[in-house]
Structure 1
Amino acid sequence: MSDQSSPLLDARDPATCLGEDAVVESTHPAVVALAAELRSGAAGDEAFARAAFEWVRDHVSHSYDVSDPRVTLTASEVLEHRVGLCYAKSHLLAAVLRAGGVPTALCYQRLSHGDGHVLHGLVAVHLDGRWHRQDPRGNKDGVDAQFSLGAERLASSVDAAAGEIDYPTLHISPAGAVVEALQATDDILAVYDVGLPTGL
């Protein structure tokens, strides 16, 4: 997408996206400490959000990229183990940003995966009066996601002709299908191709 803010995002009240739950642990001491550290070197909300995004993108490996079977779900687990799928990385980023006072929602795409589709997780931050999607999945050859409040720079753009979807809903808490899939396995690599949600 190329316009200033995605027209797909709903008009959720930003204040509802500052709290925590059992997964997006924005008051966990380790999460709060990281948010404070990143805040201390940032001049304003945008700089803090950019720093948090880049920290999670670059310091937490994507499980599949590094062939790490460990399952992480909650923000504190992701922070401790420094590994996770897109969902888990989004849970940590949302928690850190909320801990630092920036409203952050979870959102999803349906992307092609093998012969079918898979649900992809990312976040939306509320800055300058608008929601802006950011994708902390982690970069690699062919993937160059960047923090942006202008044209979106996500890991993937959707191809509607291929059955891909930008889901418009902003979620306060992770989608139930995501939580259930991650809780149901003890080897994330074993379910990467066949056991992850295919849509909402």
Structure 2
Amino acid sequence: MNHQQFFSGLVSILNKVMKNISIYLSLILHIMDLPGPIHDFLLVFLGLGLILGGIGVVLLTNPIYSAFSLGLVLASISLLYILLNSYFVAAAQLLIYVGAINVLIIFAVMFMTGSEYYKDFNLWTIGNGFTLLICTSIFSLLITTITDTSWYGIIWTTRSNQIIEHDLISNSQQIGIHLATDFFLPFEFISIILLAALIGAITVARQ
């Protein structure tokens, strides 16, 4: 029970730290505009954190380390949303994925018995070569797509035609209105799918 209490306290601390970081960073970005070099540095820093966390999720064989790496990935995505001035999406990402789903995964791993997962820290196992090949192929494809895309033209078109409006992205009221009107049917369909998954999980757990 000692390691379970330790991980429980650690998860609680990480949760509070991530929430405070999100709040403070959003306040800083809201008060002042970041210079270009600082903004680019934060983008690169969060991108590296996202990549390292993703590699940890794939390569680490201990589920608890993999779950913490997944938390790093989700937190980095949330901070990237903050840099894009989409505070509502960032808060939803942080609360739902990091604060709920990832914590649930960590608790599920903590309450496993010792025979259900590896306790040692192995970085490579049989079969990871195939996974590495697929991940490397996808990564190379993404890099090729990014380098071949004319990002300047996309940014210029977006700004000139006002395709993306700042108020529409950052205003939670507008998002709620669109969810209740334009996207009402997909929203309810997703809720039905989640309800079916929850009923199935309860049925399996009862057996």
Higher Cα Rg, which structure = 2
Same fold (TM over 0.5): no
Q: Which is strand-richer, 1 or 2?
A: 1
Q: Which of 1 and 2 has higher RCO (CA within 8 Å, sep 6+)?
A: 1
Give the TM-score range, shorter chain: under 0.3
Give the TM-score normalised by the residue count of structure 1: 0.26
Give the TM-score normalised by the residue count of structure 2: 0.25
